[in-house]
Structure 1
Amino acid sequence: MTKTIEALKSGEISSGRGLNQETALKRAGDTRWGSHYKTILRLISLFPFVVNVLEYVKEDGNNSEQRAEACHLLNVIQSFEFIFNLYLMKNILRVTNELSQALQRNDQDIVNAMALVKVSKQRLQNIRDDGWSLLLDEVSLFCDKHDIIVPIMDDIFVSQGRSRCKAQKISNLHHFQVEIFYQVVDRQLQELNNRFIEVNTELLLCIACLNPRHSFFALDKEKLIQLAQFYPLEFSSTQLLALDSQLENFILDVRSDDHFSDLNGIGALSQKLVETRKNIVYPLVFLLLKLALVLPVATASVERTFSAMNVIKSRLRNRMGDEFLNDCLVAYIERETFDCIDNEKIIQSF
């Protein structure tokens, strides 16, 4: 309480309606990296108060197990390695935060998202090349402020706990710079390179040309033909030639038709084509549009499934069989649909 009053007087934290929500620790979500970034920022800003609470629990916890856990957490969070990892993740998630937010929006702006991929790669490379000294200075300053011992980088690294085998002797500098800093940054770069290879990026940029916003400003016939070429089983060489002519008519038609003036997203475009029966007039364009709609849905379904696995297959259910896991995943992912089903119908079904 005393530390909180002192922080209020010094301006480290603010008081007022709703401000406690902004300065409270928030549990990170399993499927949103932005929540991890916010949690890290709040943990850094509230670090002395977290330590204060853990010290209180250590002394006055309800039981010995709770007090022992608080004692362990105090030892962990007041170590240089924890603070180093905390700031490293803060710097990395700060780089990719805008990209994560852009990819999570319902109205994904693919062109800007792909630009953010390039920006994220460049910033991560800059961190790898020039960010070590800045990170070490930032961590050391935080540790000095909170009375955490900063190890001498030239000394031999000593890991926490006892190792069963004789570990190779390395310096603190090698451990923190090579084994942690370089490896983490390299993994992030590799992840971006694997997910957004040149072909995938080009495919997404081609799909963006179907966006009907601003009177179909993004429509590009050459890009859409290139998109069709990604699907050789759907578009033969003859159909590609027919698509070329069909796209010219389609572009002029929809830009001059008031029914298509206020559309927002390719989903709305597909609905309007069906309503106006232009899906029959331009069958190849409509096929291209359906393929573009299916791609992000399939990708999102896979991402949702892997994210849901972290929730369903927890530590207490880690021996779950594949069939039961699949059934649980379907029920969890499509829970909005299952909520509409009456329990009596389920009982009758079984």
Structure 2
Amino acid sequence: MDTTITYTNDIIGFVQRLRKRLSIAEQLSFETTSPYTKLKALCPTRWTVKVGSMYSLLKNYEVIKDVLDTVIDENDKSGTTTNGYLQQMNQFQYYFGLKLGNLIFSATEQVSCTIQRVDNCLQDVLYSVETVLKYFERIRNGEQFNQFYKQVIKEAKQLVNEPKLPRQRRAPKRYDEGSNPHTFNSSEDYFRNEYFEPIDIIINTLQKRFKQSTFSLLCKVEQFLIQVSNSTYDTKQNKDDLDNIHDFLENDIVIDHLKIECLMINDYFKLIINQKQWGTKKITKISTICDLMNEVVGKNMFHEFDKLIRLYLTTASAERAFSTLNRLKNSIRSTMHQEHLNYCLIARIYKEKIDGIDHIDICTIFIQSNERRQAYFGSFAELLQ
């Protein structure tokens, strides 16, 4: 799948880079019966643009192959690169990877868009993740693979070569230990493994990320907020919920103040709903509570309750990474490549670890790595004096 994503990004970028190649694609589409639609660029680091790019290449597969053929015939200076792309597109393995990527990412991007919606609550996120997990578990079986494999072979018959096993690579003789790589009996067995591997990775990753013990506690906090928003706070009934909140947010929430606010919050919400004539009979989502708390009076009068809403929604460890990226990418993204940007972001996010590094040692190692730097910088210790 990594190879498929890389080549898809390269091929689409190669065609889109020059207007001449796009004109060739439009002309070939006009001369033949193969329709041509606009290609969509692929960004490997974004969550929601892979399936559109892969689908656009699948839809224009025959046209793009003809474009590459035309570029090779014109003896263009990029002929070697073009020939490599064409050979890749003639392989069944690449076409299979495109179809598999379209199958997988169409589901993952759907749940990614759902997760990133502003009006989501935690329960909605967990439901959407559970749905996509059920979907992948359903398609992860031999019968589903057989249907998918036969369909891909049928569609690829006129486009690419016959499926075959990749060339076996022997381990170097200098390696005394280790077993030989697995040998597949047929090309179907090989592509069955290619089909199951990314699905297993996705299932394991989603379970590891969204089936943590913290999420069950956060769901309880969310249910507590909705419950006290719809009915009067009950000291006995909600005691366990408050104990959980106290243990989870001990240094952030004043529990005694929160108890007092919970006794009045239901009356306040009813007043706002009647005043604005919303017609809401029962609060079922955190987004509704957030809209009600946007009033200045609510934020000032129910300070701990408002703080509880915001704190439990910002405990994800990845949130700071995305927030940092939003602050930095607009100013420096255009001045460097993605790899360089990643290194800058790592240093920016984990500032406490960077602060623990001895800068003098790093500079000394950098200077002493070759004679040219030593001659230019001299001793770093002398520079500090």
Is the structural similarity TM-score above 0.5?
A: yes
The one-letter code of the counterpart of 2:153 is S
Report what 1:38 is aligned to.
Answer: 52
Aligned partner (choices 196, 203, 206) of residue 189 of structure 1: 203
Report what 2:305 is aligned to.
Answer: 285
Offset of residue 261 of structure 1: 6.5
Residues 236-287 of structure 1 deviation map (CA, whole Å, 9 limit, x = unaligned): 9x96587456424212321223467669666554442xx11x4454343233
How many aligned residue pairs are there? 298
The one-letter code of the counterpart of 2:249 is E
Q: Do the aligned partners of 2:92 and 2:160 also contact (CA within 8 Å) in 1?
A: no
Unaligned 5+ segments in structure 2 are: 1-26, 173-179, 279-285, 352-385
Residues 155-209 of structure 1 deviation map (CA, whole Å, 9 limit, x = unaligned): xx3338x66647553333332212x222111000011101111534435545655
- Aligned to 2:49, what secondary structure does the other structure show? helix
Q: Do the aligned partners of 1:55 and 1:74 also contact (CA within 8 Å) in 2?
A: yes
Greater shift after overlay, 243-252 or 117-126? 243-252
Task: Provide the rounded CA distance (Å) in 2 between the counterparts of 1:328 and 1:239.
Answer: 29
Report what 1:52 is aligned to.
Answer: 66
Unaligned 5+ segments in structure 1 are: 14-19, 152-156, 331-350
Aligned partner (choices 24, 28, 35) of residue 38 of structure 2: 24
Task: Provide the rounded CA distance (Å) in 2 between the counterparts of 1:167 and 1:256.
Answer: 70
The one-letter code of the counterpart of 2:306 is F
- Aligned to 1:131, what secondary structure does the other structure show? helix
Answering whether residue 130 of structure 2 is matched by residue 118 of structure 1, we say: yes
Aligned partner (choices 80, 83, 100) of residue 71 of structure 1: 83
C-alpha change, 1:261 and 1:76, in structure 2 (3 Å) is: farther
Aligned-pair identity (%)? 14
TM-score (norm 1): 0.68
Answering whether residue 23 of structure 2 is matched by residue 7 of structure 1, we say: no
Q: Do the aligned partners of 1:128 and 1:185 also contact (CA within 8 Å) in 2?
A: yes
The higher radius of gyration belongs to: 2
TM-score (norm 2): 0.63
The one-letter code of the counterpart of 2:152 is V
The one-letter code of the counterpart of 1:250 is I
The one-letter code of the counterpart of 1:301 is R
Residues 74-106 of structure 1 deviation map (CA, whole Å, 9 limit, x = unaligned): 111211111111111111112223211112223
C-alpha change, 1:181 and 1:199, in structure 2 (3 Å) is: same
Q: Do the aligned partners of 1:25 and 1:39 also contact (CA within 8 Å) in 2?
A: yes
Greater shift after overlay, 223-232 or 125-134? 223-232
Task: Provide the rounded CA distance (Å) in 2 between the counterparts of 1:79 and 1:31.
Answer: 26
Task: Provide the rounded CA distance (Å) in 2 between the counterparts of 1:211 and 1:233.
Answer: 15
Give the aligned CA root-mean-square deviation in angstroms.
Answer: 4.2
- Aligned to 1:84, what secondary structure does the other structure show? helix
Report what 1:338 is aligned to.
Answer: none
Task: Provide the rounded CA distance (Å) in 1 between the counterparts of 2:51 and 2:110.
Answer: 11
Task: Provide the rounded CA distance (Å) in 2 between the counterparts of 1:328 and 1:58.
Answer: 46
Report what 2:99 is aligned to.
Answer: 87
Offset of residue 301 of structure 1: 2.8
Report what 1:97 is aligned to.
Answer: 109
Offset of residue 223 of structure 1: 8.8
